[in-house]
Amino acid sequence: MREGKIAVIGDKDLILAFKAISMEVFCADTKEEGEKLVRSLAKNYSVIFITENLAEQMDGLLAKYKTKAYPAIIPIPASGKSNGYGMRGIKADVERAIGTDILFNKED
């Protein structure tokens, strides 16, 4: 049993909200900044939340962390409506495992 910390990466306005509930926040506006942050945070943090639009740009890097148990890098919606990136992630997982998407098709 180890202890871990939560980090949030996002743009400056949003991450303040997470700071209020005592997560540690890091601000990144561009893809490069975000990737740099993810690389350095991956060692020390067990859960990293990234805003969707940022995560979408860093898809390649995030895929690398998928195979390990820690850190868990999770996309979260920015303010307003979610752009569906997180849901697409689940869909991709289901497709990968089963070959076809049976989870989301049901509703259509």
Please select the residue that binds another protein; options are 19, 36, 39, 64, rule is CB under 8 A: 19
Contact 6, 24 (CB under 8 A): yes
Compute the least distance from the CB of residue 39 to another protein, in Å. 18
Minimal distance in Å, beta carbon 19 to another protein?
5
Query: Cis link prior to 75 (omega < 30° from 0)?
Result: no
Q: Is 79 in the site for another protein (CB under 8 A)?
A: yes
Whole-number Å distance between alpha carbons of 88 and 107: 15
Task: Tell me the per-residue interface mask from 41 to 70 with another protein, x by CB under 8 A, - otherwise.
Answer: -----xx-x----------------xx-xx
Pairing of the two strands 72-76 and 6-10: unpaired
d(CA 41, CA 39): 6
Note whether 48 and 76 are within 8 A (CB): no
Chain contacts with another protein (rule: CB under 8 A): 1-6, 13-14, 16-23, 46-47, 49, 66-67, 69-70, 72, 74, 76-82, 86-87, 89-90, 93-94, 96-98, 103-104
